[in-house]
Structure 1
Amino acid sequence: MTSAQPRATSTGPSTAEQPWPVRTVSAKVAQWIDRLGSVWVEGQITQINARPGTRTAFLVLRDPSVDMSLSVTCSPQLLQNSPVPLTEGSRVVMFGKLSFYTGRGSVSLRVTEIRAIGIGELLARIERLRALLAAEGLFDPRLKRPLPFLPGTIGLITGRASAAEHDVLSVAQRRWPAVRFEVRNTPVQGATAVPQILDALKELDADPHVDVIILARGGGSVEDLLPFSDETLCRAIVACRTPVVSAIGHEPDSPLSDHVADLRAATPTDAAKRVVPDAVAEQALVGELRSRSAAALRNWVQRESHLISQLRSRPVLADPLRALDHRSDEVERLREAGRRDISRAIAAESTTIEHLRARLTTLGPAATLARGYSVVQRIVPDGDPEVLRSVDDAPPGTQIRVRVADGAVRAAVMGKDK
């Protein structure tokens, strides 16, 4: 028979050959947790189990912003002697020490003091958070996204079978029967409200068909509306790509979600009216616009017709040929005047020409010849006849041409006299 495998000591390293036993690991975990000491813890009580006759009361303390809880134990007298009655849903601050129970392998907070957070403290915290978010610019109106005129699908986050859900659905469907909804029912108060609202908000924001998201809840106390002043939820609303409408409570209620949302509605009914247009009102508006446009068109046509009538009544358009006829008569008068002037000028010039012709005829050689004179020309061989100007130019025997009024004769020079 082989000997038992050696185990690692509590001070030595843990290996595959020398593993620690469970008791050693549990003891070390208990030591590590014990080093944390006493702490103050804030949360919301979600469960109380305090049976009569027992020495220990068991509670569950939950973080309102995330899905995390912690087991708490305390003396029943601590619950009974609390100045403010502690119930499930109460916001508290506890002072205690964490303990690790090695037998069960569980961690529990053993508290020795419990302080309920009053209304004043809650309001003060909300105001501090309001100032912080405002300083970061999350309330800036420039960050608000406009709502679509006619959303195809509306995301609705509200309590199951709540009056807010009924109001939003009934009013929206009455105003626009074709509207579609993606409804996500979540708790709207209590410790589990914020985590489930965050999941629903993330899911609807990721849906490409959802055009706007409505957060709706009826009225309630300050404690009931606390989830909608949660910092995590406010930042998630700002981070949404889809416009978000906050319709929480009634008109006097003003959780922080109203300030970070793209639109604040006084009530869930008001949210439905702000998001969905009224079909009847829109139809009436369309009818009114049609009437106004038709009247404007008729007035424009009448005005243009009157203008055309005025243009047509002008002489130039009423009888466009009248101006041409008038100009035609004037052209005819001018043409006749021009013809007369030209005829007169031609007659005057003709008379002048006749006078010049008579003078030329009188002064010309033909007239001289007619009076008995003649022109003697010497015939030059192979050339034109030359006028004989001197007897020296015509020696005897020279051929001459004598031109008279009715013709010419040829002769030869027989002699000359000086």
Structure 2
Amino acid sequence: MALETSPDSPAPLRVISQLMGDYITRLGAQWIEGEVAQLTRRQGVCFLTLRDLDAKISMSVTCRRVVLDRSSTPITEGARVVVHARPDFYPTNGSLSLNARDIRPVGMGELLARIEQRRQLLAAEGLFDVARKRPLPFLPHRIGLITGKGSAAEHDILENARLRWPGVEFVTTYALMQGNQAAAQVITALRELDADETVDVIVIARGGGSVEDLLPFSDEGLVRAVSAARTPVVSAIGHEPDTPLLDYVADVRASTPTDAAKRVVPAVADELHHLTQLRRRAWYAVDQRLGREQHGLDAIRSRPVLARPSTLIDEQTARVEDLCARARRSLGHRLDLSHHEVAGQLARVRSLSPLRTLERGYTVAQAPDGSVVTSIDQLSPDDEVTLRVVDGHARLRTLSTAPAPHADLDEES
């Protein structure tokens, strides 16, 4: 209903807000088509931003979480959906939103939802794990290329790769890049190149296209074939926004075919520049090392012991000579003491020698049997006695024997 208002009789804001709310409420629940631009899941409520497919119009949508969970295919951002929602107007802040009671993916949205569901299942198996990805060789001798015959992707990869490294060699296998038979042909080409031991890396390349055109590269059989390949695989499908499942399982994902050539083949100019820098760094390191060692040698040579090496020998020679002199003095002193000791012992022995007694006028009488005569009882008349004196001996014959007087014995005692 229309209100009669004028500058002199304006309507309060609350009245206008109430009328707008009543009018929007009478609109009732409607089926609305759009694209999910943003999706936020909370504990019990989900918040979506629904965007028009053609016009730049978007609106907030709220729904219970169970509404999204009961969908046959997951609802994701970018999905095309139809929503059965009732418009709600909030008079407090004048905002308008949709309260969804049912959300269904349709058309491309349903297709993307199936791909997302497949991605989640394959990711759960671990096919997209980073630990499974293999590094690319620094300079591959042969590169396997799977692409469409005469395609722009083939031209971009071959031209850019040969500009970067003229000697690079390609083994190109052609396959359909879209359509129902594309995935099967790409799998066959992949297995053929993977069996070739001379191929170091495989590139699967295709230019941009619609989601439908890129569907073969989200095929589950192709994803599993790439995961089982022993040769590193580079995915160069579409452009930067395009992300088929092949990008997740490939060892390296290139944003474009040109980017794939840059990732697989190093640039000669860059490598030569890098080698030049490394050579300079090596020469500088060697020069610095030689300078440090020369400085160390100069410091060592400047020490007194090396400036005049004979100093150490002279010191040791003087020490040896001093020790020899001390040894000679000690030995001479010891020999002198021993000489005096031997002379004393010799004098003592000589003083006790029987010859000394003989020199004083004494003689030694020996019986014929050689025994020393110490008593007259050992002799008989006419016995021969050998008389030993200091300078010889004489033979005598016994005339008679007589005992010595006691007086003489006592006096002798």
After superposition, the C-alpha distances for 1:179-217 in whole angstroms (9 at most, x for unaligned) are 112223444233443344334334333333322221222
Inter-CA distance 207–349: structure 2 relative to 1 (3 Å threshold): closer
Q: Please, which of 267, 282, 285 is the counterpart of residue 274 of structure 2?
A: 285
C-alpha displacement of 1:409: 2.1
C-alpha displacement of 1:316: 5.4
Distance in 2 (alpha carbons) for counterparts of 1:131 and 1:165 = 31
Match status 1:368 vs 2:357: yes
Amino acid in the other structure paired with 1:303: R
Gaps (5+ residues) in structure 2? 1-105, 404-413
Distance in 1 (alpha carbons) for counterparts of 2:183 and 2:345 = 131
In the other structure, the counterpart of 2:401 is 416
In the other structure, the counterpart of 2:115 is 126
Match status 1:387 vs 2:369: no
Match status 1:145 vs 2:130: no
Distance in 1 (alpha carbons) for counterparts of 2:198 and 2:337 = 104
Q: Please, which of 144, 147, 165 is the counterpart of residue 158 of structure 1?
A: 147
After superposition, the C-alpha distances for 1:250-271 in whole angstroms (9 at most, x for unaligned) are 1111111111222111111111
Q: Please, which of 135, 142, 147 is the counterpart of residue 124 of structure 2?
A: 135
Distance in 2 (alpha carbons) for counterparts of 1:192 and 1:155 = 20
In the other structure, the counterpart of 1:29 is none
In the other structure, the counterpart of 1:403 is 388
Q: What number of residue pairs does the alignment pair up? A: 298
Q: Secondary structure at 1:216's aligned position in 2? A: strand
Match status 1:274 vs 2:263: yes
Inter-CA distance 206–416: structure 2 relative to 1 (3 Å threshold): closer
After superposition, the C-alpha distances for 1:218-240 in whole angstroms (9 at most, x for unaligned) are 22222222222233333333333
Distance in 1 (alpha carbons) for counterparts of 2:189 and 2:383 = 150
Distance in 2 (alpha carbons) for counterparts of 1:163 and 1:296 = 48
Q: Please, which of 210, 213, 232 is the counterpart of residue 202 of structure 2?
A: 213
C-alpha displacement of 1:246: 1.1
Q: Secondary structure at 1:410's aligned position in 2? A: strand
Bigger mean CA deviation after superposition, 363-372 or 127-136:
363-372
Distance in 2 (alpha carbons) for counterparts of 1:235 and 1:342 = 100
- How do 1:159-238 residues align onto structure 2 when only pairs under 5 Å count? 159-238=148-227
After superposition, the C-alpha distances for 1:293-316 in whole angstroms (9 at most, x for unaligned) are 333333333434444445555555
Inter-CA distance 386–306: structure 2 relative to 1 (3 Å threshold): same
Amino acid in the other structure paired with 2:257: P
Q: Please, which of 261, 285, 301 is the counterpart of residue 296 of structure 1?
A: 285
C-alpha displacement of 1:317: 5.1
Distance in 2 (alpha carbons) for counterparts of 1:215 and 1:221 = 17
Amino acid in the other structure paired with 1:132: L
Amino acid in the other structure paired with 2:137: P
TM normalised by structure 1 equals 0.64
Match status 1:327 vs 2:321: no
Distance in 2 (alpha carbons) for counterparts of 1:126 and 1:212 = 27
Distance in 2 (alpha carbons) for counterparts of 1:405 and 1:302 = 96
Amino acid in the other structure paired with 2:382: G
Inter-CA distance 285–410: structure 2 relative to 1 (3 Å threshold): same
Distance in 1 (alpha carbons) for counterparts of 2:250 and 2:346 = 118
Q: Secondary structure at 2:396's aligned position in 1? A: strand
Inter-CA distance 191–373: structure 2 relative to 1 (3 Å threshold): closer
Distance in 1 (alpha carbons) for counterparts of 2:400 and 2:292 = 115
Inter-CA distance 341–130: structure 2 relative to 1 (3 Å threshold): closer
Distance in 2 (alpha carbons) for counterparts of 1:137 and 1:160 = 33
After superposition, the C-alpha distances for 1:153-179 in whole angstroms (9 at most, x for unaligned) are 222222333332222111111111111
Q: Please, which of 246, 257, 262 is the counterpart of residue 246 of structure 2?
A: 257
In the other structure, the counterpart of 1:76 is none
Amino acid in the other structure paired with 1:412: R
Q: Secondary structure at 1:386's aligned position in 2? A: coil
Inter-CA distance 387–292: structure 2 relative to 1 (3 Å threshold): same
What is the alpha-carbon root mean square deviation over aligned residues? 2.6
Inter-CA distance 125–341: structure 2 relative to 1 (3 Å threshold): closer
Q: Secondary structure at 1:376's aligned position in 2? A: strand
Amino acid in the other structure paired with 1:171: N
Bigger mean CA deviation after superposition, 362-371 or 146-155:
362-371
Distance in 2 (alpha carbons) for counterparts of 1:251 and 1:210 = 27
Inter-CA distance 183–374: structure 2 relative to 1 (3 Å threshold): closer
Amino acid in the other structure paired with 1:126: I
Gaps (5+ residues) in structure 1? 1-116
Distance in 2 (alpha carbons) for counterparts of 1:353 and 1:185 = 120
Amino acid in the other structure paired with 2:372: V
Amino acid in the other structure paired with 1:280: A
Inter-CA distance 359–247: structure 2 relative to 1 (3 Å threshold): closer
Amino acid in the other structure paired with 1:401: T
Distance in 1 (alpha carbons) for counterparts of 2:319 and 2:194 = 87
Q: Secondary structure at 2:213's aligned position in 1? A: coil
In the other structure, the counterpart of 1:11 is none
Q: Secondary structure at 2:387's aligned position in 1? A: strand
Q: Secondary structure at 2:200's aligned position in 1? A: strand
Distance in 2 (alpha carbons) for counterparts of 1:140 and 1:355 = 108
C-alpha displacement of 1:140: 2.1
In the other structure, the counterpart of 2:333 is 344
Amino acid in the other structure paired with 1:406: D
After superposition, the C-alpha distances for 1:362-401 in whole angstroms (9 at most, x for unaligned) are 4433333333222222223xxxx22211122212111112
Inter-CA distance 232–377: structure 2 relative to 1 (3 Å threshold): closer
C-alpha displacement of 1:272: 0.7
